[in-house]
Amino acid sequence: MSATAPRLARLAALAAGADADANSEADPDPEPGPGPGPEADRGPGPGPGPDPAHRPTLLADRPDATLVRCGRVVAKAHAPDCDPDRLAVRLRIAAHPALHGILLPPLPLPPLPSPPAAGSDGLLHLLPDGRPATRWPYGLPVSPDVPDAAPWEETARLLARLHTVAPARLPGPVPPMRGPAKAARALARMRAATTRPAPGAAPPTSALRCAAATVERAWTRLPPWARDAAPPPRATALCHGDLHLGQLVRHPVPDGSWFLIDIDDLGLGDPAWDLARPAAWFATGLLAPAVWSRFLGAYRAAGGPAVRPGGDPWPELDTPARALTVQTAALAVAKAVAEGRPLDEDEWAVVDACGRMACAGTELADRSEP
């Protein structure tokens, strides 16, 4: 468990903080206890305290993020290795009027014993353990239980608007979009899991070793920029960098407008990267062709610049969609090894796609690379 009690307590205080007006009966000394507990769900749980609706609730606790909600506010502890200076610029971009209605804007920090991080316009706080922390309005996420309600068209239109924001208008220097860096990190994680299993963990099965080799072959076939080994050929658009259905919320709850959230990977890059995950889901058979067509059609109708306005979009999508398929497969293999389980059907679908990439005659120019 990566979250420690002090960090959770600090996040809870940050969330409750200056929102005391909104969260009028907030516990003056929120103490969520040593762990997430069984009530760690997306809604306010029952329990003791003056107002159950404002008890701190752990929304997520992953190595790259810890999220604590208190009423209408969410406090986020970002990844330990995140660059606070770049995060500060990303926060100022999210708060900038050019992103109004596209990115959920951060909330100002409440008065705290230590001043906000420099260059963040009062939006970024460094926790005692060094992790940067931020405050956000709570938004309603996409329900995994209602596939038909997933906002594909709204997502496409938000991306088209994001990609057409003029970077020169934004606070700077605008950092690079981190998509390729995350793909490279996923490969590193898979290599670590398969070659150096955690103490006590079972060594990977032959099926998983075979899957890892397939993923590696597909990775080497990608051009250097998609492996974070060279600058991207086009980095003219502001990109989200990590688009999936968990990156959308409605605000205000329950039926406000849809917004993009999570700015940790935001930056200048190839906007096709943001379309490439839905494209990869379609290509690997996880997403129905009709849904992919709706998404792509809405993006084009909104004037999005990532792909040509009509005809085959794959000349632009192919490289990032392959990179994200390889990334997804690498993380699946890493998790399966760590959990001592086989790949499930969806995970095999992604690994199989990597196998077909290694056979397809694409990117011949890169074939000679190590």
Of 169, 293, 301, 342, which lies in the binding site for other proteins, with binding defined by CB under 8 A? 293
Q: Is residue 285 a contact residue for other proteins (CB under 8 A)?
A: yes
Burial 202-239 (b: 16+ CB within 10 A, else e): eebeeebeebbebbbebbebbbebbbbeeebeebebbb
CA distances from 62 to 15, 80, 128, 137, 307 (A): 18, 11, 18, 20, 33
Of 79, 96, 292, 305, which lies in the binding site for other proteins, with binding defined by CB under 8 A? 292
Q: 301 or 359: whose CB is closer to other proteins? A: 359
Q: Taking Cα atoms as reference points, which of 187, 37, 67, 174 lies closest to residue 131? A: 67
Q: Is residue 291 a contact residue for other proteins (CB under 8 A)?
A: yes
Q: Is residue 296 a contact residue for other proteins (CB under 8 A)?
A: yes
Q: Is residue 99 a contact residue for other proteins (CB under 8 A)?
A: no
Q: Is residue 252 a contact residue for other proteins (CB under 8 A)?
A: no
Between residue 135 and residue 174, which ones bind other proteins under the rule CB under 8 A? Answer: 142, 144-148, 150
Of 1, 118, 166, 290, which lies in the binding site for other proteins, with binding defined by CB under 8 A? 290
Between residue 215 and residue 244, which ones bind other proteins under the rule CB under 8 A? Answer: 242, 244
Amino acid, res. 185: R
Shortest Cβ distance from residue 219 to other proteins (Å)?
13
Pseudo-torsion of CA 237, 238, 244, 245, nearest 10°? Answer: -120
Q: Is residue 349 a contact residue for other proteins (CB under 8 A)?
A: yes
Q: What count of other Cβ atoms lies within 10 Å of the Cβ of residue 169?
A: 13
Of 34, 346, 367, 369, which lies in the binding site for other proteins, with binding defined by CB under 8 A? 346
Compute the distance between CA of residue 370 and CA of residue 356 in angstroms, rounded to an integer. 19
Task: Considering only the stretches 98-106, 114-122, 127-135, 319-327, report the one whose residues sit in contact with other proteins under the rule CB under 8 A.
Answer: 319-327
Shortest Cβ distance from residue 142 to other proteins (Å)?
7
Shortest Cβ distance from residue 145 to other proteins (Å)?
7
Say how many residues touch other proteins, by CB under 8 A.
51
Q: Is residue 362 a contact residue for other proteins (CB under 8 A)?
A: yes
What is the sign of the dihedral through the CA atoms of 10, 13, 18 and 19?
Answer: positive
Q: Is residue 275 a contact residue for other proteins (CB under 8 A)?
A: no
Q: Is residue 331 a contact residue for other proteins (CB under 8 A)?
A: yes
Label residue 265 exposed, middle or buried (CB < 10 Å: 0-12, 13-18, 19+). buried
Shortest Cβ distance from residue 119 to other proteins (Å)?
27
Q: Is residue 309 a contact residue for other proteins (CB under 8 A)?
A: no
Of 289, 364, 368, 370, which lies in the binding site for other proteins, with binding defined by CB under 8 A? 289
Compute the distance between CA of residue 256 and CA of residue 328 in angstroms, rounded to an integer. 31
- Only one residue has tokens 């107002």, namely 51
Compute the distance between CA of residue 1 and CA of residue 256 in angstroms, rounded to an integer. 34
Compute the distance between CA of residue 84 and CA of residue 32 in angstroms, rounded to an integer. 26
Task: Considering only the stretches 39-47, 113-121, 131-139, 344-352, report the one whose residues sit in contact with other proteins under the rule CB under 8 A.
Answer: 344-352
What is the spatial order of strands in the sheet that 257-260 belongs to?
Answer: 140-141, 248-251, 257-260
Compute the distance between CA of residue 143 and CA of residue 125 in angstroms, rounded to an integer. 30
The helix or strand, by DSSP H or E, that contains position 67, with its residue range, turns out to be strand 65-70
Q: Is residue 41 a contact residue for other proteins (CB under 8 A)?
A: no
Positions touching other proteins (CB under 8 A) are 142, 144-148, 150, 182, 242, 244-246, 281-293, 296, 312-314, 317-318, 321-322, 325, 327-328, 331, 344-346, 349-350, 352-354, 356-357, 359-362
